[in-house]
Structure 1
C-alpha cells in the first residue's frame, strides 16, 4: 500500500510506468490490455463517487461560505471568475490556432491519410448534424441536440441523479443548498453531520482509488502504442504541439497568479500542487484530484477552507477551461484541413460555441467529450465526422493536459477569491511540513529558574497545609 502511494505521487515512477506501458503495447499486448482493464475499473470507481461528492460538497461548501463575510459577493465573484477563465481559455486557444494554423501546411501524404480516415468512418454512417438545443419532434425528423431545457431544469431531481445529468444536478443542488444554508445551524445540525461523514467517506474512496494510477498509466500507454498509427500522429502533430504550448503558457500564468496571491515562491507553489497535478495529468478524471487539491490549497497554501471546499468539487466538474481550449484548437484544425477560411465572424463563433460546449460537456470524461466538438463544427458547416475519427485518435493524449489546465483554473479562482483575508487564512505549511506560526508569547526557563519556581510552589503548598491544620484544630 505504501509503495503504491509513493509511486502514484512520484513523477519519476509514473514516467517509468509510461515507458513500461509503451513496451508492453509493442511486445506484450495482453499484459497491457489487462492493465488497461484495471485502469478502466479505477475510472469507474472514481466516476461513481464523483456525482454524490459534487452534491454533498456543494451543500457543505455553501454552508461554510455563507458564514464568511459578504457571502453573496463571494459566490457571485466565484461564478464570474469561473466563467471568465473559461472564456479566456477559449480566446487564447482561438488566437493560438489562428497564429500557428495547425493543419494548414500538411504534406500531401498526411492530408491524404487523414482524408482516408474521415472517408472510411463516414462511409458507414449517415450525415450527422449537431445543434445546441433539442427541438423535439419525431426521431426521424428532429435534429438531435446536445442540450434541452430538461437538462438544465429537471422536473425530477432523482431522475437527473440516476441519469447523471450534471447541469440538472447542479440546478437542483444549488437550490437545495441555498435553502439548506439559509436555515439555522440548530435545525440542520444532524443533517450537517451526515453530510460531513458522507463527504469524508467519498474523499477516502477517491484517495484510495488513486493508488491504482500507476496501473492506469501503464495500461493507457500500452493501449496507445498498440492502437495508434504513427502516420496519424505525424499528421496531427501540429494540433498536438499547438495544444501543448497553449497549456504550458496558461498553466504558468495560473501558477504565477496563485503564487502571488499566496505570497510564496513559484516553485514552492508548484511543489505543493504536485500531487493533484500528477493525478489530474495521469488519471484522465477531473474528479480524482479533489482530495489532494483541497489539502494542497487549504493546508499547504493557506487559502480559506470554506472557499476551497466549495470551489474545488464544483469547479472540477464545471470549470472546464481545458476543454474550451481543446474545442477551439480542434475546430481550427478541422477548418484548415478542409481549407475553410476563418474571418472575424467565424473566430467569434468558435470562441462562443467552444465556451458553450465546454459547459454543456460538464461531467463528461474521456472520448465522450470529443462529440461536443461537433457543436462548434456544425455552426461552421464543417463535417462532424472529422471530430469523431480524427480527434478520438489523440484524445487520450490531450485529456490529461486538459484536466491540468482546468484544475489550475479552479485553484486560480480560489486564490483570487480567498487571498487577502487574514481572518480566513490558515497557517501555511513550510517545505519541511512544519506549521509556520508567528510567536506571540514564548516561555523559556533556565535550570536555576526552574529550581526557584519549584521551591516557591513547595513553600506555597506547605503554607496552605499549615493553615488548613490550624483552621481545623480551632
Structure 2
C-alpha cells in the first residue's frame, strides 16, 4: 500500500495521468464528457476533510507552544515573525506577478475556450448570454465587508457552509485561549485534537489513493469540453511562480546567514538535505528531522527552541502556499481581464496570508483548491482554472514545498537567539 501511495502521488505520475487524460479527451470526447462526475466527487471529498484537518492542526500546534513552560516568553515573537513572513511573501509574489502578468495577452481562441469552461451549459444560446451581460457586474469590495466576512457569528454555521477563513479565525482564537487552560484540564482536549489530526491525515491518504484515475477523468472531461488551447496559458504562470520561489529562497538563505553568522556556503550545505527532501517528496512534514539537524548540528542554534519551533512553523507558516495563492489568483484575474484596484490588492494580500495559515497540514491538490477561497473574496471564477493549476501542480509543488521548508528554517533562525561563537 505504501509503495502504491508513493507511486500515485509521485509528481511524474500526476503529470503522466494529466497527459493521458488529455489524450483521452481529445480522442474520445463523447465518452470523456461523462467522466466529469468523478472530479466533482473527488473535490467534494477533499473539501470534507479540509476544515477538521485545519482546525485540529492549528489548535494542536498552539497548545504545543503553550505546553512548553518557556515558550510563553517567545509567543509574541512567533506571532510577529509568522505574520511578517507571510505578508512579505504575499507582497513579493504580487509584485512579481503584476510585473510578468502570466495569463494576460492570450490568444482569442484560448480566451474563448476558458469562457466555454465557465459557461458549460451547451444549450445556452448567444441571445441568452447577451441578455445576461448587463447583470454581470463585479461587486465592489469594501474593507468593512472583508472584516465582517472573517468573523464567524456562528461557528457551526461557518463549518456547515465551508467558510474556511472564518473557521481559521475561530481556531486561532480558540487555540490561544486553550493554551491558557492548565494542562491537567486541557490534556483530554490535546489528545482528542491529536487524534483528529492524525485521523484526517489517514483519511487524506485514503482519498488520494485513486488520484491517478481521478486526474485522468478530470483532464479528459475538460479537454473534451474546451480542447487543448487553455494549456498554452500555463507556461507563463509556471515560469513566473518558479522565479518568485527562487527570489524567496534567496532571501531566506540571506536571513539564515545573518542570524547564524556564517557564510552563504555553510548555510547552503546545512539546508541541502531539507531542500532536497522538500523537492523530492512535496511534503514539508517529512523534512522536519533534516531541518532540526541542519539548524542545530551545523548552524548551532539551541536544540530546545529548534525542536519546538520547527513543527510549529511547518504547521502554520506556509510561505510557499501564500506565494502560490497570490500568483494563482492574479493569474486567474489576468485570464479574465479583471483589473484589480488597490483595495482589491490589499484584500488579496490579507486573505492569501490567512489562507496560508488555513493550509496547515495540507499538500498537493488540496492546497490548489484553497486558491478558490481567495478568488471568492475577489468575485473571480475558480472552477475554470482548477484543472489548469492541477495540470502543472507537480512542478509548482516542488517550488512551493522548498520555499515553505527553507522559509520555516529562516523563521526559526529569526526567533531563536543567535548562536554563541566559541
- Taking structure 1 as the reference length, the TM-score comes to 0.64
Contact 1:134-1:148 within 8 A present in 2 as well: yes
Q: 1:227 to 1:128 in 2, by over 3 A?
A: same
- The alignment status of 1:183 with 2:185, answered yes or no, reads no
1:326 alignment partner, SS class = helix
Match of 1:466 in 2: none
Trace 1:106-125 onto structure 2 (pairs within 5 A): 110=109, 121=129, 123-125=131-133
**Cα distance in 1, alignment partners of residues 157 and 103 from structure 2:** 44
> Which ranges of structure 1 fall in alignment gaps of 5 or more residues?
136-144, 278-291, 341-345, 377-383, 424-474
Residue among 238, 246, 258 paired with 1:244: 238
8 Å Cα contact 2:321-2:404 kept in structure 1: yes
Tell me the equivalent position of 1:131. 140
Rounded to whole Å, the distance in 1 between the matches of 2:29 and 2:208 is: 24
Corresponding residue of 2:13: 13
The offset of 1:182, in angstroms, is 1.9
In 2, Cα distance between equivalents of 1:111 and 1:32 = 20
What is the rounded CA distance, in whole Å, between the counterparts of 1:16 and 1:160 in structure 2? 38
Equivalence for 1:55: 55
Secondary structure at 1:73 match in 2? helix
Contact 1:32/1:223 (8 A) holds in 2:
yes
Query: Partner residue of 2:361?
Result: none
Residue number in structure 1 paired with 2:97: 93
Change in Cα spacing, 1:148 to 1:77, as seen in structure 2 (3 Å) is closer
Q: Distance in 1 between matches of 2:111 and 2:99?
A: 27
SS at match of 1:183: coil
Aligned residue number for residue 71 of structure 1: 75
Aligned mates of 2:109, 2:224 — CA distance in 1: 20
Distance 1:275 1:8, change over 3 A: farther
Q: Per-residue deviation at 1:24?
A: 2.2
Q: Quick one: which of 153, 156, 160 aligns to 1:155?
A: 153
1:216-272 CA distance string (max 9 Å, x none): 222232123212234x538xx4x5333121111123344566678575477744431
> Which consecutive residues of structure 2, in runs of 5 or more, have no partner in the other structure?
120-124, 257-266, 296-305, 359-365, 418-422
CA distance in 1, matches of 2:376, 2:369: 13
User: What CA distance in whole angstroms lies between the structure 1 residues aligned with 2:191 and 2:248?
Assistant: 35
Whether contact under 8 Å (1:228, 1:393) holds in the other structure is: no
Distance apart, 1:349 and its partner CA: 5.7
C-alpha offsets along residues 281-318 of structure 1, whole Å, 9 cap, x if unaligned?
Answer: xxxxxxxxxxx432x23134337454454444545699
For residues 41 and 245 of structure 1, the distance between their equivalents in structure 2, rounded to whole angstroms, comes to: 31
Structure 2 equivalent of residue 323 of structure 1: 325
Assess, with a 3 A threshold, how the Cα gap between structure 1 residues 259 and 368 changes in structure 2: closer, same or farther.
Answer: closer
Aligned length: 370
| Cα gap change, 1:31 to 1:12, in 2 (>3 Å) | farther
Structure 1 residues 27, 204: CA separation in 2 closer, same or farther (over 3 Å shift)?
Answer: same
2 CA distance for matches of 1:354 and 1:421? 27
Cα offset for 1:25? 1.7
Residue 230 (structure 2) pairs with residue 233 (structure 1):
yes
Task: Identify the structure with bigger relative contact order (alpha carbons < 8 Å, sequence gap 6+).
Answer: 2
Q: Partners in 1 of 2:53 and 2:28 — Cα distance?
A: 38
Q: CA deviation at 1:275?
A: 5.6
State yes or no: 1:192 paired with 2:190. yes
Listed as ranges, the matches of 1:344-359 within 5 Å are 351-356=345-350, 358=352
Judge which range, 86-95 or 316-325, deviates more. 316-325
Separation in structure 1 between the aligned mates of residue 307 and residue 44 of structure 2, nearest angstrom:
28
Distance 1:160 1:48, change over 3 A: same
Return the alpha-carbon distance in structure 2 between the equivalents of residues 116 and 128 of structure 1. Answer: 16
Aligned residues of 1:94 and 1:351 also touching (Cα < 8 A): no
Please give the secondary structure, in 1, of the residue aligned with 2:132. coil
**How far apart are the structure 2 equivalents of 1:31 and 1:255?**
44
Partner of 2:387: 396
Q: Distance in 2 between matches of 1:408 and 1:322?
A: 12
Looking at structure 1, the residues matched to 217 and 236 of structure 2 have their Cα atoms a distance apart, in angstroms, of 26
- Could you say if the C-alpha distance between residues 274 and 115 of structure 1 is closer, same or farther in structure 2, counting changes exceeding 3 Å? closer
Structure with the higher fraction of residues in helix conformation = 2
- 8 Å CA contact 1:94, 1:328 repeated in 2: yes
Give the distance between the partners of 1:116 and 1:414, measured in 2 at CA: 39
Quick one: structure 1 residues 28 and 4, their matched pair in 2 at CA, closer, same or farther if it must change by over 3 Å?
A: farther
Per mean C-alpha deviation after superposition, the further-off stretch among 29-38 and 215-224 is 29-38
Structure showing greater radius of gyration is 1
Query: Does the aligned pair in 1 maintain the 2:87–2:350 contact within 8 Å?
Result: no
TM-superposed deviation, 1:63: 2.0
Change (3 A) 1:175 1:13: closer
Q: C-alpha distance in 1, partners of 2:316/2:409? A: 15
